[in-house]
Amino acid sequence: MRLDLAGKAVLVTGAASGIGLACARAFLAEGAQVGLVDRESVPVLEGDVMAVRADVTDEPKLAAAIATVARRFGGLDVVVGCAGISGPVGTPLAETTVEDFASVLAVNVTGQFLLAKHARPWLSPGASVVFLASDSAFVCAPGMVPYCASKGAVVALTRALSVELDGVRVNCVCPSVVDTPMARGDLGPVLDDPAFPVQAAEDVAQHVLYLASARSRTVDGQAVLADFGVSAR
């Protein structure tokens, strides 16, 4: 199945690690031009890439990073928001501080809002925006109040932006646990248990590529839940 992403101008936040890095690699394998934005330094990748350091919660720096990538590629066809943090996973409500809550929402929600806001002037007609939300928007575990709240907000933000932005599709992917440094840090060796349903960052990247491509041209304002069907049981 051809995705026709060759030559497309793509910007990925959170591209230094995990799902963002897998997305960057997958777009490059399709022949796209990829701008990598992260607050950390990104690995060296082969292909038409440029990396810009920026924190997605720092509006002027993020806007400048987006403009730098967009000027180099002559606009943006695809924007992927993968930058995110999990916050104090496993912390009960009584011990969750307002600072914990605010910091998770700042990266996971405000960061996506700022990405859309500052990418908008550079988007080509028919462009696609894809956010990483999570199955935690729908299926919650204890001790994850800030994270679950933030991912629910990303789903709502996706719908609001799909209505707001004419001629631009906005969707999000909601995976269950993905084997990345984030999940390893939060869950540890349980990821190696063969009975535990865990997916690879490359699995998620395939959904992102589909939503980025014209193959999904009728899909807009949607949350794609990729969780092995767990939430349907």
Does the protein bind ligand NAD through residue 40 (CB under 6 A)? yes
Q: What share of the chain is helix, strand, coil (3-state, %, to 5)?
A: 45, 20, 35
Given the rule CB under 6 A, which of 24-32, 43-51, 160-168, 175-183 is the region that contacts ligand NAD? 175-183
Burial profile 162-180: b = 16 or more Cβ within 10 angstroms, e = fewer: beebeebbbbbbbbbbbbb
The DSSP code for 48 is S
For 227, phi then psi, to 5°, come to -140, 30
DSSP string spanning 13-26? ESTTSHHHHHHHHH
Work out whether 216 is an interface residue with ligand NAD (CB under 6 A): no
Q: Report residue 139 as tokens.
A: 């299926």
151 is catalytic: yes
Return the residue of 180, 213, 216, 222 that touches ligand NAD, per CB under 6 A.
180
Cβ-based nearer residue to ligand NAD, 171 or 180:
180
Torsion of CA 49, 75, 112, 182, to 10 degrees: -10
Q: How far is the CB of 46 from ligand NAD (least distance, A)?
A: 19
Q: Tell me if 183 contacts ligand NAD by CB under 6 A.
A: yes
| Positive/negative CA dihedral, 140, 197, 184, 34 | negative
Closer CB to ligand NAD, 126 or 185, in the complex: 185
- Taking CB under 6 A as the rule, does residue 110 contact ligand NAD? no
- Active site annotation includes 86: no
83 counts as binding ligand NAD under rule CB under 6 A: yes
- Residue 39 engages ligand NAD in binding (rule: CB under 6 A): yes
Task: Please tell me the distance from the alpha carbon of residue 56 to that of residue 49, in angstroms, as a whole number.
Answer: 19
Of residues 50, 63, 67, 85, which one binds ligand NAD by CB under 6 A?
A: 85
134 as an active site residue: the answer is yes
Query: Within 10 Å of residue 4's Cβ, how many Cβ atoms?
Result: 11
Q: Which residue among the candidates 8, 151, 162, 176 is catalytic per the annotation?
A: 151
CB of 7 to ligand NAD, least distance (A): 26
Which residues from 132-151 bind ligand NAD, rule CB under 6 A?
132, 134
Would you count residue 112 as binding ligand NAD (CB under 6 A)?
A: no
Rounded distance, CA 185 to CA 147, Å?
A: 15
Q: Which of 14, 35, 87, 88 binds ligand NAD (CB under 6 A)?
A: 14
Does 128 interact with ligand NAD (rule: CB under 6 A)? no
11: contact with ligand NAD by CB under 6 A: no
